[in-house]
Chain A
Amino acid sequence: MGTVDGRVVAINSSTQSKQWDYTITPATTIYTAPILHGDLVYIGTYSGQVYALTIARGTERWVYPRTGSMGAIVGSLVIANETIYISSSDGRVYTLDTTYGDLKWKSEPLADKLWTSPTVIGDTLYVSTFDGHIYALSAGTGELLDWSFKAEAGFVSSPVIDENTVYVGSFDRHLYAIKIGGDTPVWKFPKEKPAGNWFWASPVVNEGIIYAGCLDGKLYAIDTETGERLWEYDAGSPIVSSPVLMDNLLIVTSEKGTVHVFDLNANLQNALAPLKVIPINTTVRSSFCAREGVVYIRDENNQLYAVDIDKGEVSWMISLAQKE
């Protein structure tokens, strides 16, 4: 887990204890979720550096750049083809070698700043920008490809790509579906009038349905073909974190700290009640993960909660704060 006070903490879920704790100096904030690859864990910092630490002991393998900054990193890192793709607040995409942290290429400036994560599909990298562009870049060289898309309003969420279509949330309170190669959106959701707020979190696509959490507190299930609303569910407070799929379960957290678990095999068309609603009563804004029936959530006070879905309760929690 990355913490708001600039530390990377490894928790052993079996012993429910800290395995190691790495402090980044000078202190900074970590907005990105750690990403594992091989024997290393990678993290980007708001001070504009990427750290590679060993998973086993949390020792530093490399830092890029060693001195200075590439611009604040807010969007999570992406790894594909032994390459780390990083969106930077200087408006460029940087790519680093996973083993040595060498710079492979950096793109030309694409916007004032990039806070969203890039998405890699095959040899192409897709980036959404605050000024309303979707850019396609060569994943190998960083060159801009022929196709790009421009909307009137900016894009707030990272692009999600499924079946040659980009799904992305906009500041104009719509979720856009854009066919790669097209110059007009296939659809915009909602059709009748804008949603109550922005689609801040990246949506999740599963079997022809897109699940999008909105800052208006609602989870929307939308038909990917038509953009029609299949159902909606009021989570009670803004949905800031992206939903997570675990087998047939869709897990959604709301800002006020309630975990909502939906069984996607159930007929949700008429039964809008989630399978489980588990309150943890804390502020949740960061991304979370789920594994083997347990949801791991970090709150804004640097507490880690392990929520057991079967039992419907917090099974254990641990403070990520540094010991005095």
Chain B
Amino acid sequence: MNPWDFIIGNPVLNVLIALSHFLFGQFGLAIIALTIIVRLVTWPLNKRQLKSTKALQDMQPKIQELQKKYGKNQQKLQQEMMKLYKEAGVNPLGCLWPMLVQFPIWIALYQAIMRALATTPENLLDLAHRLYSWGIVNQAVPLSSKFLWLDLGQPDPYWILAIIVGGTMWIQQKMSQAPAVDPRQESTNRMMTLMMPLLFGFLTLMFPSGLALYWAVSNIIGIITQYFATGGWGYLKFRSPFKPKPAKGK
């Protein structure tokens, strides 16, 4: 057995199957429960990320001041901003860690879903060699791939999950994305805020819906924790469609 399967692949697979045993044989509920567990385990990292987000939000007036002051000298602006981050004890790249930590979990989860659902006899035979001797695991297989309107081993044919994944990711990004004074930077930020949800929405159409379910639930938990940890919707502005826009030139 290779180290990956021994350390991550097979434990995730067996935990997922064991969870579905306790959750009425519903593999979809097991994926949701695993998402919550993963979120709890990675909470210390997420907490640091949220702290950074909050600190960045608080620093915005100073950052905007620097951007106004050194807008034409990018090198100087970068130096001053790094100085500001250092003084405040904030690492602007710190928010990447929870994302990076999740990559192996995504891979393990993708493998676990495909292995657990065993759509061919070869898959089922392979599964036999990966299961622990726990009674609950062996009693739970083979799993049903049906959950709500989804076949968890196949992409969602109705695009509902793609919209949820893309939408929740957009909200989460908007909550933490500070507006930039530099129009070019603002344009890049806007592009990134749109590209990532579109990319994940597109991936949802390609990957098994079990994995997309993980992304959707993970995003929703992310939005909730961010809301409570940073005390609101952050940079996400809900504009009333009835509020009149100020007239140009006035």
Contacts and interface: CB of A to CB of B under 8 A. Distances in A.
Interface of A: 29, 31, 46, 74, 112, 115, 130, 152-154, 171-173, 194, 196-198, 200, 215, 238, 240, 285
B128 A154 contact: no
Interface in B135-152: 135, 138-139, 141-142, 144, 146
Given A198-B128, A200-B125, 5 more contacts: A152-B139, A153-B139, A154-B142, A194-B135, A198-B138
Given A194-B133, A285-B125, A171 B138 contact: yes
Interface of chain A, helix or strand or loop or mixed? loop
Given A112-B144, A194-B133, A172 B125 contact: no
B142 A171 contact: yes
B141 A154 contact: yes
Interface string B112-146: 00000000111011001100010100110110101
Contacts of B120: 29, 46
A46 B139 CA distance: 26
- Scoring A152, A171, A238 by chain B CB atoms within 10 A of each residue's CB, the highest score goes to A171
A40 B228 CA distance: 71
A194 B138 contact: yes
Contact of B142 (A29, A130, A172, A194): A130
A46 B120 CA distance: 9
Given A112-B144, A200-B128, A215-B129, A74 B139 contact: no
A154 B17 CA distance: 14
B133 A173 contact: yes
Contacts of A196: 133
Contacts of B129: 197, 215, 238
9 contacts: A31-B121, A152-B139, A153-B138, A172-B138, A194-B138, A198-B128, A215-B128, A238-B128, A238-B129
A27 to B, nearest CB: 15
Contacts of A171: 138-139, 141-142
B93 to A, nearest CB: 47
Nearest to A196: B133
A240 B125 contact: yes
A136 to B, nearest CB: 22
A74 B135 contact: no
A115 B121 CA distance: 8
A75 to B, nearest CB: 10
Interface string B41-54: 00000000000000
Contacts of B146: 112
Contacts of B128: 197-198, 200, 215, 238
Contacts of B125: 200, 215, 240, 285
Nearest to B142: A130
Contacts of A31: 121
A172 B121 contact: no
A116 to B, nearest CB: 11
B48 to A, nearest CB: 43
A29 B123 CA distance: 14
Contacts of B135: 172, 194
Interface string B171-192: 0000000000000000000000
B13 to A, nearest CB: 15
A54 B124 CA distance: 33
Contacts of B133: 173, 194, 196
Contacts of A285: 122, 125
Nearest to A152: B139
A171 B144 CA distance: 14
A238 B130 CA distance: 13
Nearest to A215: B128
B125 to A, nearest CB: 7
A95 B128 CA distance: 31
